[in-house]
Structure 1
Amino acid sequence: MFRGSMVALVTPFKDGKVDKKSLKKLVEFHVNGNTSALVP
């Protein structure tokens, strides 16, 4: 059984392209906040 929180990530875009800098910050925020799983 799964326990904890699972977050569905929203992919940030800038000028029609994936904003990798913002995506990295978003992932790091959830990892540092002890999110149990990320859904791409």
Structure 2
Amino acid sequence: MSTVEYAVGTLAAVTFAGVLLKVVGGERVQAALAAIIDRALQ
């Protein structure tokens, strides 16, 4: 049973990482992050 739980946990982590990369990779998010960093450095 622990092997199945490990496999499901790994699959969930990979799926979450994929969704996170898709969101962070968006142009709007990158522009917002760049603006925040820009403001912080001024």
TM-score when scaled to structure 2? Answer: 0.40
TM-score when scaled to structure 1? Answer: 0.41
Q: Whose radius of gyration is greater, 1 or 2? A: 2
Greater strand share, structure number:
1
Whose relative contact order is higher, 1 or 2, with alpha carbons under 8 Å and at least 6 apart?
1
